[in-house]
Amino acid sequence: MTDKTIIEARDLDLYYSDNHALKGVSIAIPQHQITALIGPSGCGKSTFLKTLNRMNDLVPGVRITGTIEYNGEDIYGRDVDVTRLRKQIGMVFQKANPFPMSIYDNVAYGPRTHGIRGKAKLDAIVERSLRDAAIWDEVKDRLNKSALGLSGGQQQRLCIARALAVEPDVILMDESTSALDPISTSKIEDLAMELKSRYTVIMVTHNMQQAVRVSDNTAFFLLGELVEYGETERIFSHPQDKRTEDYITGRFG
């Protein structure tokens, strides 16, 4: 495994109008590992995640200072192509959000947007993405049926396939198992661990057991600050900050 940094934030501050939502966050995220972002509700985890592919650009009144570099380039630089950035840094949301179209068209949507039209090529991308998302065997005979007919866990894996179809470098997962039953959750956790050999995975989770099970590194956020960050095993067995210890032992949050 490489410890090459793929994303690095330095002195990142984010304001929603007058609300100071992220305060001086500096973090280096290594490639081909799973980094979990933990902390109580409203502490800045999802806000931080969304700065990494500029989803916060869509929120009125947002102001960001500091830098975020992806492969050494400032993603908030003037000449950054945000569409291309979001192709490289894909996102899977908390609630599965398949498009109201067929399973096939859900996965082919991104590649078509980026100019891929040939049927053979799209067929290959759709199959590869669904296989990579560990759902091909369940849907291969119903690719032309509506994605909305899938179960919640299947819809979420379809959304992962949709993110993989454009061949991203990084996959952001915003509590993407919180609405799922334990079996579907387990499938997505296994999937995340398989994907990290080819992708970098950054996940927001409320579930500390999940962070322990799947992540290599854990970042603990509290009230917009990054309190502590390091190898998951160390964070959970020897936290350096009293606030981290209080949170992971259940004294608050």
User: What string of DSSP letters covers the chain?
Assistant: ----EEEEEEEEEEEETTEEEEEEEEEEEETTSEEEEE-STTSSHHHHHHHTTTGGGGSTTEEEEEEEEETTEETTSTT--HHHHHHHEEEE-SS----SSBHHHHHHHHHHHTT---HHHHHHHHHHHHHHTT-HHHHTT-TTSBGGGS-HHHHHHHHHHHHHTT--SEEEEESTTTTS-HHHHHHHHHHHHHHTTTSEEEEE-S-HHHHHHH-SEEEEEETTEEEEEEEHHHHHHS-SSHHHHHHHTTS--
Compute the average pLDDT of residues 16-39: 97
Compute the average pLDDT of residues 42-54: 96
Q: Which residues pair with 225 in a beta bridge?
A: 222
Task: Find the largest Cα–Cα distance for the chain.
Answer: 57
Distance CA 4, CA 33 (A): 10
Share of the chain above pLDDT 70, in %: 99
Confidence at residue 2, expressed as pLDDT on a 0 to 100 scale: 55
Band the pLDDT of 109: cuts 50, 70, 90: very high
pLDDT in tens, 4-25: 999 999 999 999 999 999 999 9
Confidence at residue 179, expressed as pLDDT on a 0 to 100 scale: 85
Q: Write down the pTM of the prediction.
A: 0.94
At residue 76, what are phi and psi to the nearest 5 degrees?
-100, 10
Sequence-ordered list of residues with C-beta below 8 angstroms from that of 136, at least 6 positions apart, any chain: 127, 130
Band the pLDDT of 48: cuts 50, 70, 90: very high
Distance CA 167, CA 209 (A): 29
Distance CA 38, CA 228 (A): 10
Confidence at residue 5, expressed as pLDDT on a 0 to 100 scale: 97
Band the pLDDT of 44: cuts 50, 70, 90: very high
Instruction: Go through the chain and tell me how many residues it has.
Output: 253
| Rounded (5°) CA angle 179-181-183 | 135
pLDDT in tens, 195-225: 999 999 999 999 999 999 999 999 999 999 9
Above 50 in pLDDT, residue 1?
Answer: no
Band the pLDDT of 3: cuts 50, 70, 90: confident
Average pLDDT over the chain, rounded to whole? 95
pLDDT in tens, 156-176: 999 999 999 999 999 999 999
Long-range interactions of 41-44: CB distance < 8 A, separation 24+ = 41/206, 43/221, 43/222, 43/223, 43/224, 44/221, 44/223, 44/224, 44/225
Above 50 in pLDDT, residue 119?
Answer: yes
Confidence at residue 253, expressed as pLDDT on a 0 to 100 scale: 56
| Rounded (5°) CA angle 224-49-182 | 105
CA atoms within 13 A on the CB side of 236: 17
Above 90 in pLDDT, residue 143?
Answer: yes
Compute the average pLDDT of residues 49-56: 96
